Structures are given as structure tokens and as C-alpha cells.
Amino acid sequence: MSRRISDSTVRRLSHYLRALEELEGRHATTVSSDQLAARGGTTAAQVRKDLSHFGSFGKRGLGYSVAELAGRLRRILGVDRHWKVALVGAGRIGSALFEYPDFAARGFRLVAVLDRDPAKVGRVWGPVTISDISELERVVGERDIDLMILAVPGDAAQAIAERAVAAGARGLLNFAPTQLRVADDVPVTNVNLVMEMEALSFALTKDQTAS
């Protein structure tokens, strides 16, 4: 149980959990690795290998209990609890994220929003009032923020990341096109939309060359 789990495994676990929740909605009671694989776009062997890193949850000849496996995966992924999340950057992307219903559904609670634009500070977004970026340390400390979403320009991201971590944030979701450097024990995931588009562009360009 102590070996390092690869990123791709973690992503697949998320997929499995989503599939299981759909199955729960349909009142399915058991599911085989084969069925899970089909929904997640992978193979049965991969599903079993992924799960085997955390224990053995299935019954031979029968498959997995949907409810039990979903519960186990929630625990493994850490979404059997609430996470307090702060959002930095109340621009377009920030506001889209703020209203993103799926975050709340998985226990990610956006309890603070910060921005550097004085015109935005003080505005009320639902239950939250936008704070000035200078309040970052206070907000992170007082509201006991776990995770920080950075939806700020690239040149501001590194400085904010450092302040956030120093103030107690434990993980970062970074939308800026910058490779953040933080302590090794602070997980960072990057979402880079241009990069995703470029992946498409590359795939199509390569095809052209090949033909």
C-alpha cells in the first residue's frame, strides 16, 4: 500500500468513481472490472491493477459491490470529506470556476475569493465577499484554507503561490501558464488550456505530414 501511485492511476480512479456514482443512481449493486473498464476507456486488467494498489475489494466470480467500491474510492481519493478552497483571481475564469456546480458536489467548498483589482474587492458573490489580495495571509489562516485555485496572470502566479503556501495552503490548482516552484510536499496540478489546444493542433498537423 505504500508504493507510489502514478498520476495516470489517480486519474483513472476518478473516472471509476464517476462511473460508480452513475451506477449508484441506477441502483446497480455490482459491477465487474470489465464493465468499469468500458466506461473509463481502459481495460479490465488495468482496473484490477489500479485497485489492487489499495487492497482487494472485489469478490471473485461476482465483481465489485458498487456502493462499497464507491465508498472506498471516495476515501482513497480523499473526497469523503470537505476541502476548503480559496480562489485567487475574480476574472472570467475565476467566476466560471466559482459557479462550477461539480466542485461543490465533490466536497470542494469555495469559501474565499481574492483579487487585486480594487474595483472588484468588496463585491459579493453569493455567500462570499471578494477580498483584496493583500488579505491573502489573513484569509488563508482564518478560514483554514486547504486548497488554492490560481486564476491569475502568469507573471503573478509564482509570488501568490509562495504566499499561499507560506500562509498554510496545502495544494494548488494553477491555471497560469507558469511552472510553479513550491516545496515538494505541496501538490500542484496545472490546467493549461493553450497546451490542450496545441495537443490537438499537433495531432492534426502530424497526420497531415504522415499522409
Where do contacts with DNA occur on this chain (CB under 7 A)? 4, 6-9, 32-34, 42-46, 48-49, 51-52, 56-64
Quick one: 33 or 174, whose CB is closer to DNA? 33
Task: Residue 95: name its binding partner from a copy of itself, DNA, none (Cβ under 5 to 8 Å by kind).
Answer: a copy of itself
Nearer to a copy of itself, 117 or 134 (CB): 117
Selection from a copy of itself, DNA, none that 137 binds (CB < 5 to 8 A by kind) is none
Distance CA 197, CA 106 (A): 27
Residue 43: name its binding partner from DNA, a copy of itself, none (Cβ under 5 to 8 Å by kind): DNA
Could you tell me the smallest distance in angstroms from the CB atom of residue 3 to DNA? 8
SS3 category, 106: coil
- Residue among 175, 130, 179, 168 at smallest CA distance from 152: 175
Instruction: Decide which of a copy of itself, DNA, none touches 205; Cβ closer than 5 to 8 Å per partner kind.
Output: a copy of itself
Q: Which residue type occupies 157?
A: A
Site residues for a copy of itself per CB under 8 A: 2, 5, 7, 10-11, 13-15, 17-18, 39-41, 76-79, 83, 85, 92-93, 95-97, 99-100, 102-103, 106, 108, 146-147, 170-173, 177, 179, 185, 187, 189, 191-207, 210
- Asked if 31 and 80 touch (Cβ cutoff 8 Å), the reply is no
The amino acid sitting at 204 is L
Count of other CB atoms within 10 angstroms of residue 137: 13
| 120 phi and psi angles, rounded to 5 deg | -95, -30
Work out how close the CB of 130 gets to DNA at its nearest, in angstroms, rounded to a whole number. Answer: 39
Look at the chain and count its residues: 211
Q: What is the CA radius of gyration of the chain?
A: 20
